[in-house]
Homo-oligomer: A and B are copies of this chain.
Amino acid sequence: MLHAVIMAGGSGTRFWPASRNMRPKQLLALSGDRTMIQSTSDRLAGLVPLERQLIVTNRVLVEPIAEQLPMLPKENLVGEPAKRDTAPCIGLAAALIASKDPDAIMAVMPSDHVIGTDQQFCNAISAGEKLVVDDPTRIVTFGIRPTYPAESFGYIRRGNSIGSDGDVKSFLVNQFREKPDRETAAEYLATGEYYWNSGIFLWKASVILDALKTNRPKMYQHLATIADAIGTSNYQRVLDEEFNAIEGTSIDFAVMESYPNVAVIEAPFEWDDVGSWQSLGRLRESDEHGNTVVGDHVGIDTTGSIIFGDPDHTIVTIGIEDLIVVHTKDATLVAPKSAEERVREAVARLKESGRTDCL
């Protein structure tokens, strides 16, 4: 049976002041009226019912996510005892799913990406499921056709074609590549053989656990101890102790880069990782002056700007160009688009000066 694992542990600071420790990007409605995690769950509806959706997040976010997804069964929302990167997160999810459905196939995905249509996404996932049914030890990744030489993504080099299923083309994976510099990224782009690594994966739960057993025996041992405690009164204590003891690492590093049987599906959907305020300019319609506006805005001689506020607060801009203006109840950000990477600096500065109230 197909299960979905939504990874929702991110605590990005790039969308400060809209994003906060208790309200990171996946809990924001950046691209539309629904929040990113709501859209991620909605998107699966035709393929994986809520009963088979598992959300793994950090503990402080369990409550806010439950509020946003009130119909999700409570036991399907898991708070990690500690941040340990993606491999332990995925291992835990696999152990939980395998304990109920030993033969389960699981699709793993981030909670904070924007994806074309739900149908396109579900078609791609279904195509991945077939690849695993055909060859149960196979693991499947989803690659995004790059549109520019991005330095902020890992890359996947495709090998021979495995075939196609409707619009969905599949290939063997030749190689995984970590985030390149711009020049290397441009070379990748020129070959036409590279995809961005979307962070969306699909495999049998038992297969990914076996792969972890082979590649990361210590991590596997902790996960196996947790799995043994599932359903017992010790579970929470064992989870805390064992998960905390795991050495954190990414699933790419722990498994993907060395696993011998990986396929890549060329994503037949639009994709955006919504990496920064400028993303909003791509994801939302802009006005006739190239401004992307959320909330109440009066712009005079204002062009190419991102204005993000709320309906009860009027933002007036006069004579500005390519500026980001974000209003929230207790904080305002003003920065040119070109400086948006430096939002992290501002967040660091607030942290240093003890202004945790607005982090």
Contact = CB atoms under 8 A, between A and B. Distances in A.
A355 B16 CA distance: 28
A162 interface: no
Given A300-B346, A325-B332, A350-B298, A339 B315 contact: no
A133 to B, nearest CB: 51
Nearest to A324: B318
A333 interface: yes
A332 B345 contact: no
Given A298-B346, A300-B345, A300-B349, A312 B339 contact: no
A1 interface: no
A318 B342 contact: yes
Copies in the complex: 2
A331 B334 CA distance: 14
Given A298-B349, A300-B349, A301-B339, A332 B320 contact: no
Nearest to A339: B319
A314 B349 contact: no
Interface string A157-170: 00000000000000
B319 A338 contact: yes
Contacts of A333: 316-318
A336 interface: yes
B314 A323 contact: no
A334 B355 contact: no
A334 B345 contact: no
Nearest to A350: B298
A345 B331 contact: no
Contacts of A320: 334-336
Contacts of A334: 315-318, 320, 323, 325, 334
A314 B330 contact: yes
Contacts of A353: 298
Contacts of A339: 301, 318-319
B314 A332 contact: yes
Interface string A42-65: 000000000000000000000000
Contacts of A314: 17, 330-332, 350, 355, 358
B342 A300 contact: yes
Given A298-B349, A300-B346, A319-B342, A313 B331 contact: yes
Nearest to A338: B319
Interface string A1-19: 0000000000000001100
Contacts of A338: 319
A138 interface: no
A334 to B, nearest CB: 5
B342 A332 contact: no
8 contacts: A313-B329, A314-B358, A315-B331, A316-B334, A318-B336, A319-B336, A319-B338, A320-B334
Given A313-B329, A316-B335, A316-B350, 10 more contacts: A314-B331, A314-B332, A314-B355, A316-B331, A317-B334, A318-B336, A319-B335, A319-B342, A325-B332, A332-B332
4 closest A-B pairs by beta carbon, nearest first, are A319-B339, A318-B335, A314-B331, A316-B346
